[in-house]
Amino acid sequence: MEDHVYRTIAELFGKDDGYCRGRGGSMHIADFRIGHLGANAIVGGGVPIATGAAMAQRYLESGRVVCCFAGDGAFANGVVLEALNWAAQAQWTNHLAKDKPFGLPIIFAIENNHYGMTHRSDDEVMGVRKLAQRAAGFADNRMHAEVVNGMDVLAVRDAVARAAELCRQGQGPVLLDIDTYRYYGHSLSDPCVEYRTKDEQNAWRAVDPIASFQKQLREAGWLDDATAAAIETRVRERNARAAVRAAEAADPAPEEVLTFLYTDTACETVPAEFAKPALRGPLPEIKRDAEGRILYKDAIREALAEEMARDSRVIFYGEDVADYGNAFKATKGLLETFGRRRVFNTPISEACICGTAVGAAMAGLRPVVELMYMDFALMSSDQISNQAAKWHYMSGAQAELPLVIRASVGGGKGYGGQHSQTLESVFAHIPGLYVVYPSTAYDAKGLLKASIRDNNPVLFVESQLLYSEKGVVPAEDYVVPLGAADIKRAGGDLTIVCWGPAVGDALKAAAVLKQENGVETEVVDIRCLVPFDEETVLRSVAKTGRCVVASHAVNIGSFTGEIVSRIMEKAFDELDAPVLRVGAKNGIAPQSHILEAAFLPNAKDIVAAARRIL
Amino acid sequence: MANALAMPKPGQFTEECTIVKWRKKEGDPVAKGEILFEIETDKSNMEVESFFEGVLLKIVVPEGVPVPVQSVVGYVGQPGEKVPDAPPSPPPKPKAAPAPETRTAPSPTPVAPAPARAAAPAFPGAPPPPAALAPPPPPAAAPPAPRAISPRARRLAREMAIDPAKIEGSGPNGRVVEKDVRDYLAARGYDRLRVTPAALELARREGVDILDVNGSGAEGRITVEDIRNAVAERPQPMSRMRQVIAERLTHSFTTTPHFFVTVAVDMTDLTEVRREAKARGAPYTVTDCIAYAVVRALTEFPAFNSVSDGRAVRRRTSVNLGLAVSLENGLVVPVVRRAQDLSFAELRAASVALVAKAREGKLTPDEMTGGTFTISNMGMLDVENFTAIINPGESGILAVSSTLPRPWVRDGRIVVRQIMKMTVSADHRLIDGATAAGFVNAIRKRLEDRTLWTNLMWS
């Protein structure tokens, strides 16, 4: 216990001996060794993570139960309500679960102290008198919701024991609305004078759980004054010792500020218990043409199928991915091969799709989830950016998050402003994530397999424009390493750095430049924005002295600017001309095909840019 | 309100001045009368004092930037006082300045604002340059835009130790790109160049264009020694003063038809009279005597005190005598004004004072302009004879050589006499040979007049 107190205080002090090596602090403290998956500084942000962890317990049949702590304030938050809905889905327990119906083993423990920061939940910002009522809206069994006297230690103990037992029986989820109180302000600067009365505070203090519990023990004859005093002294002295020791402990080394940002591990060998699980049927058949070519979207499917057959920890879920085989038929057949335990539809709940993946990954699975359109990543950006990207670092590398979020870009199909965005640059700006964007069927398969095996969270971007592009893809197992650019065409006169659908544009432009200008263009497909293969780009620029950087993203804030900046910084003397960018116009994707053609960049734009610097 | 410091107008005709050195930094305390900065004019440097007490709040015009006179160059005030964002406009310039004495004939037609000036560095609030008093300077060709060169091409040029400024660019907007450098190297036969590695390294470091170096080593190999020589021979920019000299004298010598008349002067008597006077404690120099003789002769030969532009002749009623003074790094010509009104002693006193100021670099522009005739004396330099170039705005200059013992025919006998040659340069547009001969002999006769010098030096 003393070591626990010491490591906790050390973390509060930002020391290297802290639970999170000084990377987390009080708001993100975690102890994964004992299954503590972290405090969360985003109100409600931890609830879908807990739900994902419960999915992992269900899937792994561990018999363990997840207890998810969140305050009354969090139960007004969208992702929390989404998580309640998620946890109570019928498919966990009804005929869809076939032989293994089992409710999610999770207890939503509301630490209901009746205040958010200062707002009153009871009669100000919510419309139910008891938060426990919320449960009725999510499940026919009302999640076995209970209101618990949180000031009574034994009452809480009993309630949690009942709830855990229900969960172990597959009757989860359970919701406990635990009445308690916060004696102090939300923070040191809050004297609690404006929003509540002294009388109220005194009334709650009169039923203080420590004092009440002592009284119960004394009445039962289990505790006398001397023992109580001795316990108090022992605890006080232990805490003081731990605090002094923590204060004197070593600080983290400044040069290690970026240590733990990424893990360099990957799943090279699948542990025997998860390797080569039994399948429900054969792998989906993917027809190759005479030259061995398949569609880009089939390469995605093949990669998923191969990795799921390789490792039972790989599960796949998203909106409409199961029976329907996703909106683009890119995942058709996976349900039949792997069953609904591993391939299932989800509610339209992007934040939960990503958030549960974070929790499932923390708890030992290797989830692959799908966002139907990349635009929806903004719906789940907290879960991607604040949770998936950050937990390896914030936990001081206690947790690895081997998860893949697949997101497809709808640009070029006339879907308008909310279904067409090329947003990978936004996520490349969030350290902690890998961002991958294949341009060919071959790369799509190899990169997706590598992403699934990698132990970092990967945002895997696909282009719907490329789904029907064909390429030669070996039927056998191979991976394309993350962070390795690919020279799609070699040349000595001009470099085009690009990714995603811009690669095809660049290759067309290169052909035009060869034919009309006699220029030999080198097309460098970076394939991954993060990790970025700077070396290959710089080497090409050193060879050619001229460079155009192209993507389908709008230019403002695009990763193309980052690449140009690195070239300027590290290869300035190699340049024979300014480095130019080609991207979409700084605007919003319009619906009209005429307008969208004017909006998106194309091969002609790349040729024009190239000619400006030739 | 902080006090604005104006660029002074050191000479009547000065339009533009450059601060060559700020003696105070922003924030330095300044006492009244303390030197604030030094300015450079066409002729010399001048120190400028503060009229104000306080702190130098702001320097508006940095060193090295020519600005119109009366422009605000900085502010002195109390610490923390606010300085206006844009300097206030200077007082309006005086109207219709009188035609300058020193310039050639005024332009017969009003001069439109010179377009070249419009492009001159504009300081906020600086007045337009005064309407030209003389024909405007030829529109200064816009300085050649620095040739654009890509970083890659520049690096290659640096590696090859060649000057990329000589390369024509074929890139967008004429940018020199790598290919241009390679083509240039091929065209110049760079491959056949033999250079020792150490020489190449030195050439890179020193910025020597290796293509301009002739190899002295075996088979024409360029050696370190060759590069060192090239560095030593590299053109160095001339001082502002030398550039002004070059410009003015080139202009004079190429636009004024010079001719030269030389006489030999028997200085024996004058030398003796000077020696006697010196023994009495009244030292006069040969230059004093020549100056006096020249001033007198100029009143007799007004053509030499006039100036012509080839269409008109302008007489000057005043003799403003220029005395060429050689300095370590050039030459200045202080001017004794109204010399015809000065006695021999006054003339000597005036010239001694001016020459001393010239040697100290303290002449004001007004003391260096307005000359009507100049004497250049190389007597102390042991020369037989030389000719001089007429100063712009004048029509003659007298080149005075050394006084040397020479065999001389006197009363039918060869004797040793102290002989000095002097050569007048004359502007043939308004002076003919006979006038020049008369003028130079009038000087000679005075110098050989023992009675004259005896009287002058005793008086």
Residue A601 located in a structural domain: yes
Q: What are phi and psi of B415, to 5 degrees?
A: -130, 165
Could you tell me the pLDDT band of residue B43, with boundaries at 50, 70 and 90?
A: low
pLDDT band at B69; cut points 50, 70, 90 = confident
Domain match, A428 and A516 both: no
Q: What topology is assigned to B240-458 in CATH? A: Chloramphenicol Acetyltransferase (3.30.559)
Which tops the pLDDT comparison, A561 or B243?
A561
**Is there a contact between B178 and A576 if contact means CB atoms under 8 Å apart?**
yes
Q: Give me the interface pTM, i.e. the ipTM.
A: 0.73
Q: What is the pLDDT, as a whole number, of residue B127?
A: 36
pLDDT band at B146 (very low <50, low <70, confident <90, very high): low
pLDDT recorded at residue B459? 65
B160 CB near a chain A CB, below 8 Å?
A: no
From the list A405, A425, A434, A426, the residue with the least C-alpha distance to A264 is A434
pLDDT at B15 over 90: no
pLDDT digits (tens, 9 = 90+) for A9-36: 999 999 999 999 999 999 999 999 999 9
Q: Over range B443-459, report the average pLDDT.
A: 92
**Cis? peptide before B130, omega within 30° of 0:** no
A531 upstream amide cis, omega within 30 of 0: yes
Amino acid at B229: N
C-alpha span between A583 and A606 (Å, rounded):
9
Give the H or E element holding residue B275.
helix B268-279
Name residue A34's amino acid.
Answer: I
Contact B269, B410 (CB under 8 A): no
Largest pairwise CA distance in chain B: 87
> Could you tell me which CATH number the domain at B3-87 has?
2.40.50.100
Is A573 in contact with B154 (Cβ distance < 8 A)? yes
At B42, is the pLDDT very low, low, confident or very high (cuts 50, 70, 90)?
low
Pair of tokens at residue A174: 């359970």
pLDDT tens by residue, B155-186: 999 999 999 999 999 988 889 999 999 999 99
pLDDT at B86: 57
Q: Is residue A9 part of a domain?
A: no
B300 — phi, psi (to 5°)?
-85, -30
Q: What are phi and psi of A316, to 5 degrees?
A: -135, 125
- Pairing verdict, β A580-584 and A547-554: parallel
Task: Kindly give the residue spans of alpha helices, DSSP state H, lying in B281-385.
Answer: 286-300, 344-360
Does residue A337 carry a pLDDT above 60? Answer: yes
Cα–Cα distance, A44 to B128 (Å, whole number): 69
The answer to whether B338 faces chain A, any CB pair under 8 Å, is no
Query: A52 and A160: one domain?
Result: yes
Q: How many CB pairs under 8 A join A and B?
A: 31
Helices (runs of H) and strands (runs of E) counted in chain A: 19, 18
Q: Average per-residue pLDDT in chain B?
A: 84
Could you give the C-alpha distances from B219 to A150, B185, B194, B208, B211, in angstroms and in order? 101, 20, 8, 21, 16
Q: What is the amino acid identity at position A579?
A: V
Assess whether A163 and A303 both reside in one domain: no
Residue with tokens 């792998």: A283
Question: Does residue A290 surpass a pLDDT of 80?
Answer: yes
Q: Please indicate, yes or no, whether residues A303 and A444 belong to a single structural domain of this protein.
A: yes
Collect all residues of chain A within an 8 Å Cβ-Cβ radius of residue B175: 577
Least confident of A24-28, A462-466, A528-532, B45-49: B45-49
Judgement on whether residues A56 and A190 belong to the same structural domain of the protein? yes
Place of tokens 């965005």: A421
Quick one: A495 and A407 in the same domain?
A: no
**B152–A573 C-beta distance less than 8 A:** yes
pLDDT band at B326 (very low <50, low <70, confident <90, very high): confident
| pLDDT at B103 > cutoff 70 | no
pLDDT at B250: 94
Return d(Cα B140, Cα B66) in angstroms, integer: 15
DSSP class per residue in A42-84: STTTHHHHHHHHHHHHHHHT----EEEEEETGGGGSHHHHHHH
Cβ burial B214-229 (10 Å sphere, 16+ → b, else e): ebeeeeeebbbebbee
Q: Note whether A449 and A520 are same-domain residues.
A: no
* pLDDT in the model for residue B64: 81
Q: How far is CA A3 from CA A16, A24, A230, A239, A245, in A?
A: 14, 18, 20, 10, 10
With respect to residue A103, please indicate whether it lies within any of the assigned structural domains.
Answer: yes
**A392-443 residue pLDDT tens:** 999 999 999 999 999 999 999 999 999 999 999 999 999 999 999 999 999 9
A462 and A500 in a single domain? The answer is no
- For residue A247, being part of any structural domain is answered with no
Domain end position, chosen among A180, A198, A223: A223
Query: Is residue B97 predicted with pLDDT exceeding 60?
Result: no
C-alpha to C-alpha distances, B77 to A305, A417, B6, B183, B293, nearest whole angstrom: 81, 60, 14, 60, 54
Last residue of a domain, one of A472, A498, A530: A472
CATH number at A305 reads: 3.40.50.970
* Shared domain check, A425 and A495: no
Percent of chain B with pLDDT over 70: 84
Min Cα–Cα distance to chain B from A545, Å: 7
What's the pLDDT score for residue B144? 53
Angle at B146 between CA B144 and CA B152, to 5 degrees: 150
CA distance A518 to chain B (A): 15
Residues A496, A458, single domain; the answer is no
Q: Are strands A521-525 and A486-489 parallel, antiparallel or unpaired?
A: antiparallel
pLDDT of residue B145: 56
User: Do the domains B240-458 and B3-87 match in fold?
Assistant: no
Q: Please name the residue that has the structure tokens 């739900």.
A: A51
User: Cα distance from B224 to chain A (closest Cα, Å)?
Assistant: 27
Which residue has better confidence, B92 or A235?
Answer: A235
Name the pLDDT band for B17 (thresholds 50, 70, 90). Answer: confident
- Domain interval for residue A147: 40-223
On whether residue A5 sits in a domain, the answer given is no
Shared domain for A388 and A516, answered yes or no, is no
Q: Is the pLDDT of residue B129 over 50?
A: no
B13 has a pLDDT exceeding 70: no
Task: Choose the mutation target among A576, A579, A611, A613 for the interface with B, i.e. most B CBs under 10 Å.
Answer: A576
Q: Would you call A573 and B172 a contact, using CB atoms and an 8 Å cutoff?
A: no
When pLDDT is cut at 50, 70 and 90, the band that residue B134 belongs to is: very low
At residue B128, the pLDDT reads 35
Of A572, A575, A612, the CB nearest to B172: A612
Interface residue B406 vs chain A (CB under 8 A): no
Of the three residues A223, A255, A272, the one that is the final residue of a domain is A223
Residue B281 contacts A, CB cutoff 8 Å:
no
pLDDT above 80 for B118 = no
CATH of B151-232, one of 1.10.3720.10, 3.40.640.10, 3.30.1330.40, 4.10.320.10: 4.10.320.10
Average pLDDT score over residue span A295-322? 98
Same domain, A123 and A74: yes
* Phi and psi, residue A379, nearest 5°: -65, -30
Instruction: Tell me what percent of the residues of chain A surpass a pLDDT of 70.
Output: 100
Is A381 part of a structural domain of the chain?
A: yes
Residue B330, sorted as left (phi over 0), alpha (psi -120 to 50) or beta, turns out to be: left
**Mean pLDDT for the stretch of residues A559-585:** 96
pLDDT at A534 > cutoff 80: yes
Name the residue in chain B with its Cα closest to that of A614. Answer: B171
Sort out which chain A residues have CB atoms less than 8 A from B151's CB and list them. 572-576
pLDDT of res. B19:
87
Interface test with A, best of B149, B152, B159, B204 (most A CBs within 10 A): B152
Q: Is B258 a catalytic residue?
A: no
Cα–Cα distance measured from residue A53 to residue A38, given in angstroms and rounded to the nearest whole number: 12
Nearest to B369 by CA among B18, B7, B43, B40: B43
Distances (CA, A) of B198 to A546, B204, B217, B218, B227: 32, 10, 13, 15, 10
Q: Judge whether residue A242 has pLDDT over 50.
A: yes
The answer as to whether A239 is a domain residue is: no
| Domain range summary for chain B, segments of one domain joined by + | 3-87, 151-232, 240-458
Q: In sequence order, what are the residues at sequence separation of 6 or more whose Cβ sits closer than 8 angstroms to the Cβ of residue A314?
A: A307, A308, A342, A365, A366, A367, A368, A452
Q: Which conformational region is residue B457 in: left (phi greater than 0), alpha (psi within -120 to 50 degrees), or beta? A: alpha
Q: Measured between beta carbons, which residues in chain A are less than 8 angstroms from residue B148?
A: none
